[in-house]
Amino acid sequence: MHTLVFLEPGHFHAALTLRTQNPRVDPTVHLYARAGAERDAFLDLVASFNRRAEQPTAWTVKVHESADPERELVEERPGATVILAGRTRPKLGTIARLHAAGLHVLADKPWLTESAALGHLGQVTAGWPLAIDIMTFRHEVVARLAYEVATDPDLFGSLEGSSGEPAIDIQSVHHLLKLVNGEPLRRPAWYYDTRIQGDGLVDIQSHMADQAQWVIGDGDGLVFDRDYAIESARRWATPVPVELFRASTGLDAFPPDLLPWIEDGVLQLACNGEIRYRLRGVPVRQRAEWGQREPDGGGDAHRTTITGSEATLIARRGPETGFRGELHLSPRTPGPGFRRRLTEWLASREAGMPGLSQRPSEPGCEIVIPHRFHTPHEAHFAMVLDDFLDLLEAGEWPRVHAARIRARYTLLARAREH
């Protein structure tokens, strides 16, 4: 049975790994942290999982309060697996020290804010023990089916970008003020400092870079200098008035550290970004934006368009879908031949995902996914933990997996330089 150790959990993603009770994990987990609001938020969220009415968890959190939590964790090491989620700027250095101490690390994305941290990246991905980033995207049902469509040569064809347009176009809109587990999310003040959290070219972009890698494929393992070519990168700001900052953090005023980015009483937060590049010759665009407040009854919005020689695939979630994930296909040559191929494709998935169907839609046709296969984003963190435990128990870190992590964070760091 695995014993989990949490170090200074400054982001709610750490607690979300415990949203589901895992029979392979000791129900007593250890928390090394300084006293304060971030530690308390972690404890409160885990406690909410324990007391919920449906499928409550039964975690016991043993708190190790310390002025130097990392040092005490390494010295006492009550478990061999550390989970990190919080401040981005020091994260890769922390991962490197834990890795050097022989501890496995599952760390939330992103791992870096600038290219100065790249020196640690090679170290932590060179070999055992494991150092893996928390990538939830591949557990989303629309994303899984989109991948299966985009890699089917009969239905989709081959990737095609033309006239300067990307073959893979990934866009998302997130919100600074939002609900998590049904409650308003309280963000720490440092979240609004791009020197610590990272800017619009590193955070959500890490998920998007992983998505492009997934569709295009690892092959024999990705190498940044060989497989990537950055074409452009830009970032821009979302204005954060003090009222929004107060609602998000609970603080009445901007702290002094943020003063350089405040104009006329409004924080200009450089949290938006777009990167255009080629991955193994395939043109990719990834664009991440942040709105101020989550819309009523809504959430984050995502849209991925993948263009193939036989069809264009559109995966979307937003106001136009009622914030429910949808998957559409727009065939190059509509007609009975395409409908027959899609019918055969759906039938081939019946054993693993029964009930998939199709219906006409504005783009062409929609692949209708039964409701029971949709899972909330918050549930995917426990799934990532399960994947991590699989790798631990296999005792081997796949080389292509390590290369994938190196390549995507090198991309983000180089995009910032660009």
| Residue 284 shares a structural domain with residue 346 | yes
| Residue 108 shares a structural domain with residue 194 | no
Cβ atoms of 174 and 204 within 8 Å: the answer is yes
| Residue 264 shares a structural domain with residue 245 | yes
| Residue 161 shares a structural domain with residue 304 | yes
Distance CA 177, CA 292 (A): 6
**What is the CATH classification number for the domain harbouring 122?**
3.40.50.720
Residue 219 has pLDDT above 90, yes or no: no
Torsion of the alpha carbons at 244, 245, 247 and 250, rounded to the nearest 10:
-170
Residue 160 has pLDDT above 90, yes or no: no
- In this structure, is residue 401 part of a structural domain? no
Cβ atoms of 388 and 90 within 8 Å: the answer is no
Distance CA 177, CA 246 (A): 10
pLDDT at 377: 85
pLDDT at 182: 66
| Residue 158 shares a structural domain with residue 52 | no
| Residue 99 shares a structural domain with residue 148 | no
Q: Which of 16, 266, 251 lies closest to 136 in space, CA to CA?
A: 16
Distance CA 153, CA 174 (A): 33
DSSP strand pairing (168-177 vs 282-293): parallel
| Residue 126 shares a structural domain with residue 248 | no
Residue span of the structural domain in which 79 resides: 4-134+379-395
**What is the CATH classification number for the domain harbouring 234?**
3.30.360.10
- In this structure, is residue 270 part of a structural domain? yes
pLDDT at 181: 64
pLDDT digits (tens, 9 = 90+) for 264-317: 999 999 999 999 999 999 999 999 999 999 887 778 899 999 999 999 999 999
| Residue 387 shares a structural domain with residue 358 | no
CA distances from 349 to 18, 33, 145, 378 (A): 31, 46, 10, 26
| Residue 226 shares a structural domain with residue 318 | yes
Distance CA 60, CA 46 (A): 9
| Residue 368 shares a structural domain with residue 231 | yes
* Number of domains the chain is built from: 2
- In this structure, is residue 296 part of a structural domain? yes
pLDDT at 218: 86
| Residue 148 shares a structural domain with residue 68 | no
| Residue 46 shares a structural domain with residue 169 | no
- In this structure, is residue 415 part of a structural domain? no
Segment 235-242 shows an average pLDDT of 97
Q: Which two tokens stand for residue 36?
A: 């304060």
